[in-house]
Amino acid sequence: MLKVGLTGGIGAGKSEVSRLLVEHGAVLIDADRIAREVVEPGTPGLSAVVEAFGADVLAADGTLDRPRLGSIVFADAERLATLNAIVHPLVGARSQALEDAAPEHAVVVHDVPLLTENGLAPLYDLVVVVDVRPETQLDRLVRLRGMTEEDARARMAAQAARDKRLAIADIVIDNDVPLDALERRVAEVWEALARRARQPKE
């Protein structure tokens, strides 16, 4: 098994890269999706979030109002740390269970937005970083996700700087390119990953 950490700044196109890797045969463990699952109604995770932040973070139907919670934590490092202390251990346990269930020679891709920020690179055999210019990130967040420029900049500022992400990368995938070029690059990366996964461990 080859454990790959996949990361990139918000708006870099990481989900597109992970989708392409899955098409090639990767086993994807999506930390963001798991982070949503562990705070679904009825979970201990949601109870802990409500206890920490109050019932105002719940929508009318009892689900977590993620935009509201986001507006609270992204502007306040201490409250963000509180949220992370609740969610990250739950995500870690679920991720480990999924990894344990993967086949022997699988390429297991852990899609982890905050890999750099949380110092998680040593957990993986190698780290793949999806990279774009900050101007591209800002444009995508405003144009494609409907954020205000102020909100987009705040989200970007809450993440590690681009050079810090690149410093931990074993492989960089440039996503300031047309889709067909991205697809070719991901195919190349996949070949390298699959080859390495088949090699016996040292």
Residue 199 pLDDT exceeds 90: no
Q: Which of 175, 82, 79, 91 is nearest to 128 (CA)?
A: 175
Whether this model's pTM surpasses 0.75: yes
For the stretch 37-82, pLDDT in tens is 999 999 999 999 999 999 999 999 999 999 999 989 988 989 999 9
Rounded-to-integer distance, Cα 4 and Cα 155, Å: 25
For the stretch 79-121, pLDDT in tens is 999 999 999 899 989 989 999 999 989 999 999 888 999 899 9
Task: Map out the domains of the chain with their CATH numbers.
Answer: 1-26+106-202 (3.40.50.300), 35-102 (3.40.50.300)
Q: Which amino acid is at 44?
A: P
- DSSP secondary structure letters along 57-113: GB-TTSSB-HHHHHHHHTT-HHHHHHHHHHHHHHHHHHHHHHHHTS-TT-EEEEE-T
Going along the chain, which residue ranges are E strands? 2-8, 27-30, 107-111, 126-131, 171-174
